[in-house]
Amino acid sequence: MTTQKQINYERIAEAITYIKENFKKQPSLNEIAENVHISPFHFQRTFIEWAGVSPKKFMQYISIEYAKQLLKNQQATLFDTAHETGLSGTSRLHDLFINIEGMTPGEYKNGGKNLYINYSFAESPFGNIIVASTQKGICHMAFFEDQINALSKLQDRFPKANYNQVVDHIQQNALFIFKHDWSKLNQIKLHLNGTPFQLKVWETLLKIPLGGLSTYGAIAKNIDKPKASRAVGTAIGSNPVSFLIPCHRVIQSSGNIGGYMWGSTRKSAIIGWEAAKINS
């Protein structure tokens, strides 16, 4: 059943696509609203409720020039701010420590035969999401359009695991990251399997602060593999935990948004949404 929140996001996503394709022309509120087939007043109100800023301001956040400026200002000290991930003022994000505890090769090789996985479906500002956890932490999180297909993809990763559709405290803690009151975040743990290289890349992604951006080349340099930009891109593309491991914060060095497993429009929406939270 489609909820109003999902309908609103779909409208916002359509508007973001239009803005991305036409931002050089700086389309007016009326033009954008007409493109998504709602009144300018309703569109403005819905957009502000979703992003916290006006469509015009949001347009600045997702433009190529904004991305270039952000990279220019922050890239040099991006990874020095690992312990400063947060918002100032009453909405300050603090005490968010994400630890990766890798699965043993045996756990993954045998298809999760001895794993007990809880999973649930939830809504986020960017569409529906499936989240799964073991007793050690979050093992899977992904945006989806079709619930059955989303569960099938999870089961493909761990075909022999024992599944239970239930919301547990590990999932609840993880989903707090979408809340506006960031201060309620508890410690979030991830239970993942990956090669040492993948885990190193994923850990580096965790150091990009909220509202910050990096590039594939910058991450390759940070892990002392300056010529491994392509391999870094592959590791980022295999990230099994959307949003919590912020692969959406990695863009092309030109400032272009680049690809994203869950769609470039959703990636633009997340980047703009996070920038709005920082700047508001």
Q: What percent of the chain has pLDDT over 90?
A: 50
Residue 150 clears pLDDT 60, i.e. is over it:
yes
The pLDDT of residue 182 is 55
Determine the average pLDDT of the residues in 122-137.
Answer: 94
Cα gap 33→5, rounded to integer Å? 18
What pLDDT is stored for residue 180 in this prediction? 58
Of residues 149 and 73, more confidently modeled: 149
Closest CA to 63 of 20, 26, 29: 20
Residue 105 has pLDDT above 80, yes or no: no
User: Across all residues in the chain, what is the average pLDDT?
Assistant: 84
pLDDT at 121: 97
Give the whole-angstrom CA distance, residue 279 versus residue 274. 9
Known catalytic residues are 247
Whether 228 shows a pLDDT value over 70: the answer reads yes
Give the pLDDT score at 176: 84
- pLDDT for 35-93, tens place per residue? 999 999 999 999 998 988 899 888 888 887 777 777 776 544 444 443 343 333 333 33
Q: At residue 94, does pLDDT exceed 70?
A: no
Q: What's the pLDDT score for residue 97?
A: 55
The pLDDT value recorded for residue 123 is: 92
Rg (CA), the chain: 19
Q: What are phi and psi of 250, to 5 degrees?
A: -110, 120
Nearest to 260 by CA among 270, 243, 247, 269: 247
Predicted local confidence at residue 84, as pLDDT: 40
Question: Residue 133 above 90 pLDDT?
Answer: yes
Distance CA(241)–CA(130), nearest Å, equals: 10
The pLDDT score that the predictor gives to residue 85 is: 39
